[in-house]
Amino acid sequence: MDAILATPFQMWMTFGIIFTAVVIYSIDRWSLEIVSTATLLALLLFFQFFEVLDPNTGSNLLSAEVLLSGFANPALISIIALLIVGQGMYQAGALEGPTRRLTQLTGNRPWVTIILILLVIAVVSAFLNNTPVAVMFIPILSAIAARAEIPVSKVMIPLSFMCILGGMTTLIGSSTNLLVAQSALLSAVDGAQRAELNISFFDFTVPGLVLAGVGAIYVLYILPRILPQRQSLSGELVGSSGKQYIAQIDITPGHPLIGVKSTAGLFPELKNMTVRMVQRREDAILPPFEDVELQLGDVVIVAATRKTLTEILASKENILSGMIDAQEAPRGRGGQNLSLIECVVAPGSRMIGRDIQQIGFRYQTGCIVLGIQRRSRMIRGRMKDIRLEAGDVLLIFGTRKNIIGLRANRDILPLEWSAEEVPDITFAFRARTIFGGVILAAASGLLPIVVAALLGAVAMIASGCLNIRQASRAFDRRIYLLVGAALAMGTSLEVTGGATYLAHSLVFISTFAGTTALLSAFFLLVALMTNVLSNNATAVLFTPIAVSLAAETGADPRAFVFAVIFAANCSFATPMSYQTNLLVMGPGHYQFVDFVKAGTPLIIIIWLTFTFFAPFYFSGF
């Protein structure tokens, strides 16, 4: 950018705007949307009145068109489209079966499963683009965490960080690595240096494995303890409250529980449920259940959480089929959106003192009552024998249209925040096929990631796996505005010469402290800059500087070039620094400050590891 007529005033003002934005992001007092929009507006206004002119054309190199171009960035479009693909996987319940099988492999040790998956992610990321790898495993880890009742915020950032660590071990592990390798060849000062900088596939695998190994110890064993226990709003209000509902299972012809016997007083097939009673004609069989075999016509009264009942509805196990069929509930076909909602029996309701059958709830509302909760005591009886009281909570199941219609019912009070859609597994195979196609097309290079992601998003909607409303809900405006503002900040810093100024200042200061100190300080600068600029921009900007530093000091040029590779991959401290960070931000329900707290120690760990390892591995130190 030496030919650009940027003034020191413009450069320092850019520093000031970026520094202010990062500080405000970190204190987490205002929403990401407001801070991103304000930062973007500050840059637009400043460079509107203090233009950076191209000496050849006289045009403003930081015009509104340039600063706003980030909103059309292919990486940003890819992320939004991939979020829609992930939403389609959820709506279709496509991972319910695979997740159940994975958790069964390690029994009651979900963290063992999670750690093994994270290690697999690191290995795969060494040979495939990190973005499709993250897309592949985000829904899997989310489902495992939900099933094991582990906050999803504990696993999403580790997923992203393991992708990044694995990607720094081979030449094709990250696009950053390839850019540095190409830029190093172009920057070589002579033929000998060009031959030395002709980086092959595994040239930096040894130092990469050392750094990734040390980083993985932090990610797997320390990071989960640092990360917040945070769920989505719906998860906090609905997901794991532990509230028990009374539900009943009618053993109808062809029911999967016919012939099931009790073992040690329990029914193992009814996982996460407490059997309160088995009604057999006129006899009530109470626990403990000794050698009880379920028969046609039995009514099993169970206590279960909403989460358990939802999982049963979303699975292929028709355990609740008898009760649902008896109430003539709608089935999930043809794209119907089935939902669950909690409703409170209102004071003065006409339902008080009557049971579900007497009320004719299905015929009045089009919905069915899946469970009843009474805070005062645990009910032991069939649902048709339970006479409702004011304050009882009903777990209601029906189509979205009928659930919305409950708002006009004066006998019950719908708890709007508790509404949740039930995945429709009839589309699971379609969703898996589309998802696999996106991964295959992107990983093989058949299609660019942005094209594959957009194609997958459209296919999810066109195939009925999700509708437009559900797809729009997957759009995360925080990510959209954050990335747009971050790209504008990075462009401003590069065009005004701010990044080059920092590099030259570092060289001047570090020349008095020796080559090792210079290499260490250079690594730290690149690692910090990659969290403000994009990692690819940082790589292209600092690789020529690295080659020049090696020539000036007489040290092994690979040491400085590899420093750029590893440091530019240290995109841990901000969400906008790497695509995988942005991908996990929504599913993990993270704030900006979460990445700062989680990523800063990892950057320091990798920086110190490189500082102590480099003098033993490279020559000239």
pLDDT digits (tens, 9 = 90+) for 15-42: 899 888 878 877 767 887 888 899 999 9
What is the average per-residue pLDDT within 128-141?
78
User: What average pLDDT does the segment 283-288 reach?
Assistant: 79
More confident residue, 288 or 193: 288
> Residue 122: what pLDDT?
92
Whether residue 4 is predicted with pLDDT greater than 80 in this model: the reply is no
Least reliable range by pLDDT among 86-100, 255-269, 459-473, 553-567: 86-100
- Under 8 Å between Cβ of 339 and 421: yes
pLDDT of 474 above 80: no
Contact 296, 251 (CB under 8 A): yes
Cα 579 to its chain centre, rounded Å, is 11
Residue with more model confidence, 433 or 309: 433
- In the predicted model, is pLDDT for residue 3 greater than 50? no
The model's confidence at residue 238, banded by pLDDT at 50, 70 and 90, is: very low
CA–CA gap between residue 352 and residue 44 (Å, rounded):
62
Write b or e for each residue in 271-308: b if 16 or more Cβ atoms lie within 10 A of its Cβ, otherwise e: eebebbbbbbeeeeeeeebeebebeeebbbbbbbbbbb
The counts of H helices and E strands in the chain are: 28, 8
Mean pLDDT is highest, among 131-145, 190-204, 455-469, 507-521, for 455-469
From 425, 498, 318, select the one nearest 99 (Cα to Cα). 425
441-463 confidence digits (pLDDT tens): 876 778 887 888 899 999 999 98
Q: What is the pLDDT of residue 573?
A: 93
Check residues 4 and 271 and name the one with the higher pLDDT: 271
Distance CA 194, CA 151 (A): 50
> What pLDDT sits at residue 234?
45
User: What pairs with residue 592 in β-bridges?
Assistant: none
- pLDDT value, residue 421: 72
Q: Is the pLDDT of residue 233 over 50?
A: no
Show me where the domains of the chain are located: 8-71+478-578+586-617, 237-423
Q: What's the rounded Cα separation, in Å, for the pair 110 and 200?
A: 39
The mean pLDDT value of the chain amounts to 80
Angle at 511 between CA 509 and CA 515, to 5 degrees: 130
- 379-405 mean pLDDT: 81
Residue 13 binned pLDDT confidence (cut-offs 50, 70, 90): very high
Local confidence band at 237 (pLDDT 50, 70, 90 cut-offs): very low
The DSSP bridge pattern shows strands 393-399 and 299-305 to be unpaired
Query: Of residues 330 and 129, which shows the higher confidence score?
Result: 129
Structure tokens at 92: 């279709």
Q: Is cis: bond before 288, omega within 30 of 0? A: yes
Instruction: Give me the pLDDT at residue 408, please.
Output: 84
In this prediction, residues 198-203 reach a mean pLDDT of: 81
DSSP assignment string, 240-256: T---EEEEEEE--TT-T
* pLDDT of 427 above 90: no
* CA 187 – CA 196 distance, rounded (Å): 12
Q: How far apart are alpha carbons 523 and 500 in whole angstroms?
A: 15
Instruction: Give me the pLDDT at residue 335, please.
Output: 44
Q: Residue 217 — very low, low, confident or very high, per pLDDT cuts 50/70/90?
A: very high
Q: What is the pLDDT of residue 224?
A: 93
Is the per-residue pLDDT at 207 higher than 90?
yes
Do the Cβ atoms of 278 and 289 come closer than 8 Å? yes
Q: What percent of the chain is modeled with pLDDT above 70?
A: 84
Which whole number is the average pLDDT over 522-540?
A: 83
pLDDT of residue 318: 62
Average pLDDT in the 354-368 region?
A: 83
Q: Residues 219-227: what's their mean pLDDT?
A: 94
Q: Give the model's confidence band at 481: pLDDT under 50 very low, under 70 low, under 90 confident, else very high.
A: confident
What average pLDDT does the segment 324-344 reach? 60
In this structure, which amino acid lies at residue 160? S
pLDDT of residue 189 exceeding 70, the answer is no
107-127 per-position pLDDT tens digit: 567 788 889 889 988 988 887
Which of 136 and 503 is assigned the larger pLDDT?
Answer: 136
The secondary element (H helix, E strand) that includes residue 613 is helix 592-617
pLDDT (0 to 100) of residue 236? 44
Lowest mean per-residue pLDDT among 420-429, 546-555, 594-603: 420-429
Torsion of CA 535, 537, 543, 545, to 10 degrees: -120
Place of tokens 């009651």: 108
**Alpha helices (runs of H) in 244-376, residue ranges in sequence order:** 306-314, 321-326, 356-359, 361-365
Residue 600 has pLDDT above 90, yes or no: yes
Note the pLDDT of residue 86.
76
**pLDDT at 182 > cutoff 80:** no
Task: Tell me the per-residue pLDDT of 564-590, one tens digit each, with 9 for 90 and over.
Answer: 999 999 999 998 888 889 888 888 889
What mean pLDDT do residues 232-240 have? 45
Lowest mean pLDDT among 53-57, 148-152, 155-159, 518-522: 53-57
Measured CA to CA, the distance from residue 215 to residue 129 in angstroms comes to 20
| pTM recorded for the entire structure | 0.64
237-423 belongs to CATH 3.30.70.1450: yes
Q: Is pLDDT of 328 > 60?
A: no
- The better pLDDT of the pair 370, 560 is held by 560
Predicted confidence at residue 190, as pLDDT, reads 63
The pLDDT > 90 percentage for the chain reads 16
| Cα 91 from Cα 101, distance rounded (Å) | 20
In this prediction, residue 386 carries a pLDDT of 83
Q: Answer whether residue 239 shows pLDDT above 60.
A: no
Q: From residue 441, how far is each of 124, 129, 450, 452 by CA, in Å?
A: 16, 12, 11, 6
CA dist., res. 323 & res. 321, Å (int): 6
Q: Which of 473, 561, 478, 573 is nearest to 527 (CA)?
A: 573
Provide the pLDDT confidence category of residue 268 given band limits of 50, 70 and 90.
confident
Residue 364 pLDDT > 50, yes or no? yes
